[in-house]
Amino acid sequence: MTMDLINKLMNVVAPPMALVALFLLVPPLYLYKLLLSFLYSLFPEDLTHKVVLITGASSGIGEQLAYEYAKKGAALVLVARREGSLQEVAERARDLGLPDVLVIPADVAKPEDCQRFVGAVIAHFGRRKWSTNIVDHLVNNAGIANVCLFDEAPDVTKFTPVMDVNFWGSVYPTHYALSHLKKTKGRIVVNSSASGWLPLPRQSFYNVSNLKHSFLRFNVGITIATPSFIESEMTKGKFLTKDGRMEINQELRDYAAECARCMVEAARRGERRVTVPAWFRVLHLWWVFAPEVFDWCFRVLYDVNFWGSVYPTHFALPHLEITRGRIVGVASFASYMF
């Protein structure tokens, strides 16, 4: 009975109080953040000889992050499963910056691998007499996505790699590197994706896996990057279908290099969050204040455009293969927005 009265009172009092508080607090808060951003822009972090550990560095955004950090003079540790691709990235990074680039093949979904590569970083860079820095930036970038509706999945256990890589693949490296980051007052950079706050259709598991909000209180900075669709293996090869198979999607998205540049600059300025492209933040307002409109737009875009192309193509494809025919797709501007 008491709780009912309290809830009824709060239903009346809380909304206007919250609006008044927002009206009073938001302007000075944004002014403070603007001044702070201006100061950090004048005096960004010098990354020369800093040790930067990047996961998922063999391609896409991770590869471009390696090049951006190399240009700033950082010593690199590149982690991914494909050693051949890592070696190629390492060679190009050495041409851009320091020769000190460490390549470690590992799977971030396995805690023993994460413990191993953090230990290898400590062993390698701990020998440097001219610097006590061991790990300055940890960039949790590795990730994969799925493309199907939740109720289309015949076996949800096939999507465990999405959570293993996107979620635990950030938790494990952070856990093992945190004590060293505390010593250097370093920074954790998380490539979280805009889907963490803007759920995308047909990516239920991916959306959940990117809700990586941090509550660190260890004098360790954190920069959470929320890029929209970026040209990388996330959009050019590493999608899980509803059957758990990897399939290729070659659609052009925003440039991974520009995303990487924005992420590194945001980390140097000490920003907590960065969205690439910046205009994508406008969609957050629609999602908060008009979710029904947003849901309707997504339903129209994905159900009509997506299935209106998939069904005819599926049934016609065997005959097109016989005749060596051609598929002509007419894309709308919306395909580049979402």
CATH value of 42-283 in 1.10.357.10, 3.40.50.720, 3.40.50.300, 1.10.3720.10? 3.40.50.720
Residue pLDDT, tens place only, 177-197:
999 999 899 999 998 865 555
pLDDT of amino acid 300: 63
pLDDT of amino acid 338: 38
DSSP secondary structure of 120-156: HHHHHHTT-TT---S-SEEEE----EE-B-GGG-S-G
* Low-confidence residues of the chain: pLDDT under 50: 201-215, 232-238, 240, 248-254, 304-305, 307, 330-338
**336 a catalytic residue:** no
pLDDT of amino acid 90: 96
Q: Are 177 and 135 in contact (CB under 8 A)?
A: yes
SS3 sequence of 272-338? CEEEECHHHHHHHHHHHHCHHHHHHHHHHHHHHHHHHHHHHHHHHHHHHHHHCCCCCCCCCCHHHHC
pLDDT of amino acid 145: 66
Q: What is the pTM of this model?
A: 0.71
> 236: Cβ–Cβ under 8 A, 6 or more apart, which residues?
60, 248, 249, 250, 251
* C-alpha to C-alpha distance for 38 and 229, rounded to whole angstroms: 28
Q: How many Å is the maximal CA-CA distance in the chain? A: 75
Distances (CA, A) of 63 to 179, 183, 199: 26, 27, 26
Active-site option among 32, 67, 206, 255:
206
**Tokens read off for 239:** 């999608």
* C-alpha to C-alpha distance for 297 and 155, rounded to whole angstroms: 28
pLDDT of amino acid 130: 54
Distances (CA, A) of 72 to 44, 185, 245: 11, 19, 38
List the chain domain ranges: 42-283, 290-337
Rama region for 100: left / alpha / beta (φ>0; ψ in -120 to 50; rest): beta
